[in-house]
Amino acid sequence: PENDPILSESIPSYNLWIKWDKLQASELAKLLIENMYHHCGIGLSANQIGISSRAFAMLVDNTPIVCFNPKILEESEEWTYDKEGCLSFPGLVLKIQRPKAIAVTYQDQDGQTTLASFSDLSSRCFCHEMEHMDGYTFLDHVSDFHLKAARKKQRLTLRKIKRKEKRNG
């Protein structure tokens, strides 16, 4: 839920194999991917489902990956301004500025460190999910004026969805 206090907590990095065993890491990865797909998202941070862990799932070229202890190493000088949604704020769409490309590191569920570069939507998604683990949401990027206008559209969108659900039984 959007006002869950865990969304405003900064989650520290940890030694994956001290905090988790391989089975637990694998189970968390599976849970993140399942929930991301269930809610039709392209990214989902562990704290969005009530788990205080520095981990998230995201789609890269329609393939799910799970990132434990992710870090952004470098951001491109070029930034883009585009629409974003968030599973913690159903129906809310905001225009957010993000780096067009990033270089990152993260561990997979087996503890292997990966260096990767993402651009466009994948860069946007990685940055968005990282913010969840740092205690921020995309609301922190917009003015009260823009948020108020977006909330109005959100209410209309959610009403339309509810009416459609009622009709479809």
Asked, for residue 59, whether it belongs to a domain, the answer is yes
Share of the chain above pLDDT 70, in %: 94
157 inside domain: no
pLDDT in tens, 41-67: 999 999 999 998 999 999 999 999 999
**What pLDDT is stored for residue 67 in this prediction?**
97
- Residue numbers of the domain that contains 66: 5-142
122, part of any domain: yes
Let me know if 23 is exposed, middle or buried by CB neighbors in 10 A (0-12, 13-18, 19+).
exposed
Better-predicted residue by pLDDT, 31 or 18:
31
Instruction: Flag whether the pTM goes above 0.85.
Output: yes
pLDDT of res. 128? 98
Dig out the tokens for 116 from the structure.
């990767």
* Residue 75 exposed, middle or buried by CB count within 10 Å (0-12, 13-18, 19+): middle
Q: Do residues 79 and 98 make contact, with C-beta atoms less than 8 angstroms apart?
A: yes
Q: What is the CATH number of the domain that holds 136?
A: 3.90.45.10
State the catalytic residue, choosing from 2, 27, 129, 131.
129
Chain-wide mean pLDDT for the chain?
92
Q: Number of folded domains in the chain?
A: 1
**Whether residue 129 lies in the annotated active site:** yes
Predicted confidence (pLDDT) per residue in 84-132, tens digit: 999 999 999 999 999 999 999 999 988 899 999 999 999 999 999 999 9
pLDDT band at 4 (very low <50, low <70, confident <90, very high): confident
